[in-house]
């Protein structure tokens, strides 16, 4: 039978001594590797030769690592079996410029981090004891050399890496990004395997199909290699529990690709795979055995599949919205049109070998538990390992997969195109069987950048995005190809990447771009918003990690050390614009951190709310998806992430989750201005003390495929007086869309109880101090289906005395590692963030909260489950009391 030997032991590493003429003569000074697969920064750290790259200013001390050459070496024993005739070495990932020697003979020169390299060996070249040597050269220096030869091009900006990066097929974020430090690492970052055989299964291509009438079928293509000593193939389909559902032996002696070894109608045998929230994630195993004439197994392969049909629908809209008509940009799975709510994914670490399967599962489970159903793998990182997509299959998370190009003018000379074509083929073949895979996308922002710059005369990579990549996707994923999209963003005439009526858009005029107020998200959407975001500082516990033993004078928001861990261009100015519009200025670090987190949660909540509202039924799918930038971090940093490097959710994670719940409710407040040019419409701004009230619009969303009856409850509470108001009415939420529920004036206290009128204007109404909350209740059980509270803005105008003592009450009930927490308040509370506090004031081990960042109203207690609280006190921070 074919054998596989994983080469994960006996590795050593060293810096190459360039004074030695030949690499093979550089034989002293080796250090035993502590990881396999391996990256040189990780080895150096474990050996105690460098400080923690993520603490303080240490990044600057480690730049030399990417400028020198490194050697890896392993030894392995091999004893051939009598019936073995062939051998190969499979390298799943070499980062990046690497010459490979087997027993002093050069067998490979690799220069693409994203390719799988398979080297066929002469069996006689293997000895009882073998040495495999990997010589990694500097990708950084090679990039500059190629730039000198071929010319400097436009690529990103000062905080998006050196432009020379476009010439080397290495993860682009390694060169630095606006959320990533610059660590040019190298090493065998994915497994290396020796395979020996006489005959083997080289490839299995499963076609797990679901027809337009929802009938499942399976076809299997098998490619064999070696000698034709086999007699048959056995194809077996089993369910998740291992129960065999169908099996067939097929005579076969042909070397090469055998199409349609089996072609099965599976009506009534299997069930479809669905994205989370729409049905079950039914998965099946397709196993292939290569058998000889006596029925003995020569090789075996197993692939997990799901039966589903996915389409990218771009239909003409029946009615116009604020942008006009145009076309939809929506995903239809198994005939069901769905709103895609989710996140963008960047690599889980600067050092990929440190991301264990458990860490991937933790990230993606948080995404799923946050009511998200799609993740976009951004084009400046990597094609993630198999385990990432396997977890997405299991959790029902749709995957938008970028090819690895980001923010640059990439070349298209013959050798580069050939390398990219193989890279694409390797990864499309590897990923195509995953039911989670919804889209392949050519690049991230390359079209957009060229349009914005306006001075790029030659855009050669169009050949890649419009010829090479779509050909690879169609050829390798047929007969029902995975949808392909040229770039993100893309659409409109002449690929106008900002056209809101066609294709997808990246909405960065909030925070970046024009630096507009976040309330303008209501005016700045598109058919599919595949990027947008507002940054925030991570929890103080993460900040304390990178600050370490920094002197006291560095512990403020504008210190150099804080700036070291906030990589976004012009971050301080951009933070200040939005922060100063919403909050009072503070120099206290903990208060400032809290305010950035509430800013992020308010902005993202508003965006998801107003854009999901535009999922308005068939023919009116004005916005069909919203993917926030970004889900995660690759290092401890201040960024746009919902969840920080240590898997600690920020408040925005929870508030977004509530907006993406199966049922949600939204409120829009339009202030009646005394000046029609005040901005934005939600603000009590110049007219804070001369406003004529406000108007409310309330809507609900329902992702179920059936209507839902509910009771809409509206509560108003004045922050400056004891006045309250409550009313209810019956409503119906239409299926799989948003439903407009109510339009009404915002009520306020009558004049005889209202706060004093500072204007003398009889039209003046004090809604500027009124909090309006809406709840959707089950009409039978009274269960709260959704809730939302709309607060007057900006928060800096709210009187602090009305916020400081809201009469909070907490009840806890311990049940092992689980603590049930019930929270109530006598007055409205904005942004209640719960944390665990030890007696010494530290926050101790991390706690998993089922919900957080709560807005509380009187007579509406909320329940939260905490895992890992372990008897510690619960710390509380909220607007008006920002420090625990």
* 482 DSSP 8-state letter: P
What is the CA 746 to chain-centroid distance, rounded?
Answer: 38
- Tell me the two tokens of residue 876: 């509380």
- The β-bridge partners of 317 are none
d(CA 732, CA 151): 62
Q: 4 with 87: CB under 8 angstroms?
A: no
Contact 827, 807 (CB under 8 A): yes
3-state secondary structure of 535: coil
Q: Of 721, 719, 732, which is closest to residue 803 (Cα–Cα)?
A: 719
Contact 527, 502 (CB under 8 A): yes
Contact yes or no for 166/106 (Cβ under 8 A):
no
Chain Cα centroid distance, residue 466: 25
Q: How many Cβ atoms sit within 10 Å of the Cβ of residue 765?
A: 21
Distance CA 797, CA 683 (A): 10
Instruction: Measure the CA–CA gap between 258 and 224, rounded to whole angstroms.
Output: 8
Grouping H, G, I as helix, E, B as strand and the rest as coil, residue 624 is coil
Number of separate helices (H) and strands (E) present in the chain: 13, 42
Strand partners, 100: 108, 134
Q: What DSSP line would sit under 229-266, residue for residue?
A: ---EEEEEEE-TT--EEEEEEEE---SEEEEEEEEEE-
What are the respective helix, strand and coil percentages of the chain, to the nearest 5?
20, 35, 45
Structure tokens at 647: 């898997």
CB 654 within 8 A of CB 834: no
Q: How many Å apart are CA 577 and CA 564, to the nearest integer?
A: 20
Determine which one of 39, 445, 602, 621 is catalytic.
445
Crossing angle of helices 357-369 and 386-395, in 10° steps, is 30
CA dist 595 and 172 (Å) reads: 32
State how far the Cα of 503 lies from the Cα of 442, in Å rounded to an integer. 14
Confirm if 598 and 831 have CB atoms less than 8 A apart.
Answer: yes
The helix (run of H) or strand (run of E) holding residue 227 is none
Do β-strands 340-345 and 625-628 pair in parallel, antiparallel, or remain unpaired? parallel
Distance of CA 213 to the CA centre of its chain: 33
CA dist 203 and 483 (Å) reads 23
Nearest one of 755, 761, 729 to 742, comparing CA atoms: 729
Burial class (CB in 10 A: 0-12, 13-18, 19+), 120: exposed
Active site residue 316: no
Element (H, E) at 408: none
* Burial call 190-210: b when 16+ CB within 10 Å, e when fewer: bebebbbbbbbbbebbbbbbb
Count of residues in the chain: 884
In 593-723, beta strands by DSSP E = 625-628, 663-671, 694-702, 708-718
DSSP element (H, E) containing 771:
strand 770-777
Contact yes or no for 287/588 (Cβ under 8 A): no
Say which DSSP state 510 is in.
Answer: B
Asked if 458 and 153 count as a contact pair (C-beta separation under 8 A), the reply is no
Question: Catalytic positions, please?
Answer: 445
């Amino acid at each position: 039978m074919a054998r596989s030997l994983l080469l994960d032991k006996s590795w050593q590493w060293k810096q190459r001594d360039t004074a030695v003429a030949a690499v093979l003569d550089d034989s002293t000074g080796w250090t035993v590797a502590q990881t396999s697969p391996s990256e040189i920064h990780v080895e150096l750290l474990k050996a105690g030769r460098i400080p923690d790259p993520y603490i303080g200013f240490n990044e600057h001390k480690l730049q030399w690592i990417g400028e020198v050459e490194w050697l890896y070496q392993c030894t392995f024993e091999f004893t051939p079996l009598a019936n073995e005739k062939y051998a190969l070495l499979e390298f799943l990932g070499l980062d990046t410029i690497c010459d490979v020697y087997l027993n002093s003979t050069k067998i490979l020169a690799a220069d693409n981090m994203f390719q799988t390299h398979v080297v066929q060996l002469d069996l006689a070249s293997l000895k009882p004891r073998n040495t495999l040597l990997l010589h990694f050269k500097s990708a950084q220096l090679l990039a500059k050399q190629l730039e000198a030869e071929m010319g400097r091009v436009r690529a990103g900006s000062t905080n998006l890496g050196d432009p020379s990066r476009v010439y080397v097929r290495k993860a682009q974020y390694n060169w630095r990004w606006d959320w990533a430090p610059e660590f040019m690492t190298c090493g065998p970052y994915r497994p290396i395997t020796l395979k020996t055989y006489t005959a083997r299964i080289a490839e299995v291509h499963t076609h797990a199909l679901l027809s337009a009438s929802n009938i499942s079928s399976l076809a299997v293509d098998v490619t064999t290699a070696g000698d034709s000593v086999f007699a048959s193939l056995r194809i077996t389909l089993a369910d998740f529990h291992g129960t065999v559902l169908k099996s067939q032996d097929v005579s076969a002696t042909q070397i090469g690709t055998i199409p349609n070894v089996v072609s099965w109608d599976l009506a009534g045998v299997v069930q479809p795979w669905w994205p989370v929230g729409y049905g079950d994630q039914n998965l099946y195993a397709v196993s292939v055995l290569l058998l000889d004439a006596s029925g003995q197994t020569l090789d075996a392969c197993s692939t997990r599949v799901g039966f589903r049909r996915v389409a990218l629908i771009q239909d003409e809209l029946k009615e116009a919205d604020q942008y006009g008509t145009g076309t939809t940009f929506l995903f239809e799975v198994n005939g069901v049109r769905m709103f895609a709510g989710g996140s963008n994914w960047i690599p889980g670490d600067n050092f990929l070998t440190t991301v264990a399967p458990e860490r991937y599962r933790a990230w993606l489970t948080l995404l799923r538990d946050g009511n998200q159903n799609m993740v976009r793998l951004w084009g400046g990182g990597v094609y993630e390992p198999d385990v990432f997509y396997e977890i997405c299959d299991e959790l029902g998370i749709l995957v938008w997969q970028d090819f690895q190009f980001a923010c640059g003018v990439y070349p298209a000379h013959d050798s580069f195109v050939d390398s990219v074509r193989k890279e694409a083929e390797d990864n499309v073949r590897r990923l195509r069987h995953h039911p989670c895979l919804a889209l392949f996308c050519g690049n991230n922002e390359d079209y957009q950048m060229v349009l914005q710059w306006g001075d790029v005369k030659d855009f050669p990579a169009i050949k890649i995005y419009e010829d090479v990549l779509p050909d690879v996707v169609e050829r390798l994923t047929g007969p029902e190809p995975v949808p392909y999209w040229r770039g993100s963003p893309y659409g409109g005439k002449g690929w106008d990447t900002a056209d809101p009526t066609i294709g997808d858009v990246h909405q960065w005029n909030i925070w970046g771009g024009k630096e507009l107020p976040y309330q303008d998200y209501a005016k700045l959407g598109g058919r599919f918003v595949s990027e947008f975001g507002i940054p925030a500082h991570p929890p103080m516990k993460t900040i304390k990690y990178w600050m370490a033993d920094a002197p006291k004078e560095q512990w403020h928001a504008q210190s150099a050390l804080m700036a070291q861990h906030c990589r976004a261009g012009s971050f301080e100015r951009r933070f200040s614009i939005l922060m100063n519009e919403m909050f009072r200025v503070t120099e206290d670090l903990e208060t400032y951190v809290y305010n950035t987190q509430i800013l992020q949660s308010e902005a993202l909540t508003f965006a998801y709310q107003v854009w999901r509202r535009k999922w308005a039924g068939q023919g009116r799918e004005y916005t069909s998806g919203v993917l926030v930038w970004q889900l995660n971090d690759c290092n401890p940093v201040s960024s746009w992430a919902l969840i920080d490097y240590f898997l600690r959710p920020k408040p925005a994670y929870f508030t977004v989750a509530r907006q993406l719940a199966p049922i949600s409710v939204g409120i829009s407040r339009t202030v009646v201005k005394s000046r029609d040019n005040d901005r934005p419409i939600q603000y009590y701004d110049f007219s804070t003390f001369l406003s004529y009230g406000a108007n409310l619009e309330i809507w609900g969303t329902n992702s179920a495929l059936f209507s839902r009856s509910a009771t809409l409850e509206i509560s108003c509470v004045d922050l400056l007086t004891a006045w309250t108001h409550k009313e209810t009415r019956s409503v119906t939420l239409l299926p799989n869309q948003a439903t407009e529920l109510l339009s009404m004036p915002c009520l306020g206290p009558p004049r005889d109880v209202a706060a004093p009128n500072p204007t003398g204007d009889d039209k003046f109404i004090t809604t500027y101090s009124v909090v309006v909350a809406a709840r959707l209740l089950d009409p039978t059980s009274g269960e709260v289906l959704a809730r939302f509270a709309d607060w007057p803005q900006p928060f800096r105008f709210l009187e602090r005395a009305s916020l400081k003592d809201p009469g909070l009450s907490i009840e806890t009930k311990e049940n092992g590692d689980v603590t049930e927490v019930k929270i109530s308040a006598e007055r409205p509370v904005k942004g209640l963030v719960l944390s665990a506090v030890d007696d010494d004031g530290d926050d101790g081990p991390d706690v998993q909260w089922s919900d957080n960042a709560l807005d509380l109203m009187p007579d509406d207690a909320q329940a939260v489950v905490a895992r890992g609280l372990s008897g510690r006190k619960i710390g509380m921070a909220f607007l008006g009391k920002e420090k625990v």
